[in-house]
Structure 1
Amino acid sequence: MAEPLNLLGFRHSVYTRIARMGLIETGLTATYVEANPFAAEPDPVLAAMTPLGRVPVLLHGDFVLTETAAILRYLNDLGPKASLIPTDPQSAARMAQVMGIVDAYVYQPLVRKVFSHGFYQAAVGEDGDSAIVAEGLVLSQAPLRALDSIAAGGLQLGGARISLADLHLAPMMDYFVRVPEAADLLRHYPALSAWWHEISNHPSLRDTDPFPDQ
């Protein structure tokens, strides 16, 4: 790998954290560049790389890559460590399914609603909205039930080796359970709770925590 890797991200972004976990798990290093996707005026560094205004962005020489799932797969193929993509078709399909569920159904209720208004706003000195937290907890139940069923099936979220699915979900779950009501809700999903008990102490999750003292 002659060209250096650079990662543009926002330090509190759950998707940036996923990419940082991906770097650790694949044995790669990247120069990190902070870029604020929420700035009132578009961040010039971010705007120069993507018109979408989202993080993370991976730069590998002249190659620019957005979308976290794509970044994880690229790092997996590039890195020197063992692949984080299962070799058998059903496990690989379940991995892709989990990642799709996370992006389509998990991020908004668990992170943008429950975590943002139940933890993050207070952490940055702003007021959260308890009604949005309550709404997020209701909307979280369907994706949690779906993921619990997958974890119970044994092909993903609980195997002997982690996959890209674990990296995609774990930071979001870590944010979610920082809200006490969310941690209580998770206990209703035993297979998913067992997965979280195992993954919550994983070194790459712990080492990328943007709120280590909270």
Structure 2
Amino acid sequence: MKRVIRYIILSIVVFLLFIIFKLYLIERDFFEKASEYEKNKHSVEAFLMYERVILAYIPGSPLISESLDRMEKICGDLKDYDRINCFDSMRSAIYQVRFFYLPYKDRLSRIDEEIIRLKTNQYMKENSIPAQNYNETEKIFRNITTYNPYPSDLWSFLAVVSLFGWFASVTLIVLKGLTEPVNKRVLVIGVMGFLIFFGIWILGLYMA
């Protein structure tokens, strides 16, 4: 049995390493294409390739950090709506790789501030809004930009864990508790585990 468990664990590790290696090759391929486009002054194509580097996300990848730096530079060289759309696309790419945590939060905060500033200035310019209304206008775009529609990371994680917890509790009750004769100790543990995990699961779904 131990040999089977070791084999399963080893297979999972090898599979994960293969996935990481494959993603790295994809990242490197897109990064090289983006660098070539940037070298030839094709900024839009370079930006799109750097965006694909981010979408092939590997935590801690230096290629992603470098891609984000170069995307910021490309966005900074643009003007007006092109610049706003560029930063919006960059922000969207980072949010697309969100899982149980959101990577590059510091960079996102910096991008958000730039988007808020650009949109506020553009809106005030186009609508001839007086300078004394800047703070009020900026507050509107800040609320829109920083609004977080995503569920809570903590409660989402607890909901997933507790789902497996109450499922395991029911399995324990059926297989080990409801025997002949009834194993009261296992039955009590199983029922208590079910009630606790099921309660956390419902609360997690509500709070997330």
Instruction: Give the structure-2-normalised TM-score.
Output: 0.30
Larger Rg: 2
Instruction: Give the structure-1-normalised TM-score.
Output: 0.29
Q: Which of the pair has the greater relative contact order for Cα pairs under 8 Å at 6+ separation?
A: 1
The structure richer in helix per residue is 2
